[in-house]
Structure 1
């Protein structure tokens, strides 16, 4: 299996993404003779081998799609060993660190290797990632996964507590990413790891107190352009809105009498709901012709000509006189806070 070299058909030992819906996906490793249970029934791995990626496979109660894994799909389906960075934050990190083919990046900590896969994809084919993890078992598991995904030539995984012992790297990195509880302890070593020509650094912290201390340390070490941002996703509910479309003509609108209501009538109108005001202003329901009856003027019963249109409805019911359009309304509640991203630049001495 290789995340960097695409092949069209599923092979044994490939890691594939089973797509049952946008919020129902699974990452599995194909092994002949194995069976994976889904809501559509049992999926035999032998039925998947030889299938073209992107095609659907029939199950007893339905079908699902076989997708080639990408860093984004892997982030959504990887086995969690720690809290991970998702694509929203990863995209900002990749952009702000100016990652490109050939870049050398230092990362700590590795965690579940969600960000690691995206970084490697950005720096291929001649870049390199040095990633550090203080937890031995997590470091070993991340190394095994990256090797299984065909990325071992582009990454070096090291088990080490960089807050205590540093990176032991000097003048090699174009960018450094820190996801640590005390990032200020690793900043002096991170500065040494950056190239003398300069580079960018990013620190991910969930608490604003961590951000404040990190920014103060970055300033002391000579970093410039220090900035902190928070990236949140705002979802919108798309609705179809219906509104009346009266379209009075200029000639007919002039024929409507300009009536002034008394003070008591005006107060009565202001206290009404929009639908009640509409009923008092115009004769609702079927007008159907060219005349409507004015009900709230001192000349009660007076009529005025209007443009001949289909059935009117000022209360909002769907009629031929209404027009509809799509509208996006944001939800009252948004997803919770994930973390703050602090960026800084080290310029050449």
Structure 2
């Protein structure tokens, strides 16, 4: 329950983050666990610095030092950022640099209703929940039934199931559901064919307008999505790539030569080849290597009452347009 709110001490059932020499481990704080035979045994977590008896964490303060059989570490309060670094990967996940930009571009505030298509491992979902609670809600969908079920169980274990609804649904084929039409402040798509989901996003966003964002690794996906957004009346369409660069601050010593002799009209003393002094500066240096490409973020704004206007201007042959999960057939006409 440690994801629900910040607290001072660890309780049974919490998820704690163990920090060991720049490595992070997520631990379920349960004093006992079942072995392969189904028998209850003492829960002992093995680390590179020895064993940790998990029951000793109960009652300890978050941020405190914990003793291991061959060393020590620190136990931290879980956050969406730390969880994204320790969660079990069921799919490729979105990391903090992209997540922070998504939060900004979707204009989310506490109380917002946001729809997410592509639950995956739940990395972004945890961040969305933290942003919209306590009065907002996240509706997340995944076409893979097992992933959706595991995600829902994970949200319950973390104590945040009140703020999220996880469902098994193929959004590209079936949309978000009639019950969510006109209910969302923002829509996020992490799907192989986000352009197919644009009309479903249009139907889900409120009449007062809202924001749209999609995550795509390939520029061809971005091109199709932008064309679909333009066709369905979205405005302020833009695409960005988030590349995090960390500048290393260090101190460097630079040799300095005394040039005071230049002030004299003539000088009989030869110039010394060696520097006469040194000066120390604080400088910033670029890293030798930078993180590579993750994906493109395409964002757009749905203006107020765009959905009703789109219905009136819907082409007669719109029924002939079909969609599929893999995007074999497009929703849009690329000749436009």
Q: TM-score, normalised by structure 1?
A: 0.80
Instruction: Work out which of the residue numbers 46, 59, 62 in structure 2 matches 1:50.
Output: 59
For 2:2 and 2:202, the matched residues in 1 are separated by: 33
| Cross-structure match for 1:78 | 87
| Cross-structure match for 2:195 | 184
Instruction: Work out which of the residue numbers 101, 105, 113 in structure 1 matches 2:110.
Output: 101
Contact 2:2 2:77 in 1 (8 A): no
Tell me, yes or no, if structure 1 residue 226 matches structure 2 residue 182: no
For 2:271 and 2:200, the matched residues in 1 are separated by: 81
CA deviation map 1:23-77 (0-9, x unaligned): x010010111211111211111122111111100111222100101011111111
| Cross-structure match for 2:6 | 6
| Cross-structure match for 2:311 | none
For 1:226 and 1:124, the matched residues in 2 are separated by: 28
Tell me, yes or no, if structure 1 residue 125 matches structure 2 residue 134: yes
SS at match of 1:119: helix
Contact 1:43 1:59 in 2 (8 A): yes
Contact 2:63 2:76 in 1 (8 A): yes
Contact 2:182 2:203 in 1 (8 A): yes
| Cross-structure match for 2:296 | 340
Q: TM-score, normalised by structure 2?
A: 0.83
Please state how far the C-alpha of 1:245 moved relative to its aligned partner.
3.5
Contact 2:63 2:77 in 1 (8 A): yes
Contact 1:202 1:344 in 2 (8 A): yes
SS at match of 2:263: helix
Instruction: Work out which of the residue numbers 216, 220, 230 in structure 2 matches 1:209.
Output: 220
Instruction: Work out which of the residue numbers 270, 275, 278 in structure 2 matches 1:293.
Output: 270
Tell me, yes or no, if structure 1 residue 21 matches structure 2 residue 54: no
Please state how far the C-alpha of 1:233 moved relative to its aligned partner.
1.2
SS at match of 2:215: strand
Contact 1:2 1:151 in 2 (8 A): no
Instruction: Work out which of the residue numbers 159, 162, 170 in structure 1 matches 2:168.
Output: 159
SS at match of 1:186: helix
For 1:146 and 1:338, the matched residues in 2 are separated by: 26
Segments of structure 1 that go 5 or more residues without pairing to the other structure are: 259-290, 296-311
For 2:207 and 2:301, the matched residues in 1 are separated by: 12
For 2:119 and 2:218, the matched residues in 1 are separated by: 20
CA deviation map 1:276-329 (0-9, x unaligned): xxxxxxxxxxxxxxx95248xxxxxxxxxxxxxxxx843xxxx8x211122222
Give the root-mean-square deviation of aligned CA atoms.
1.8
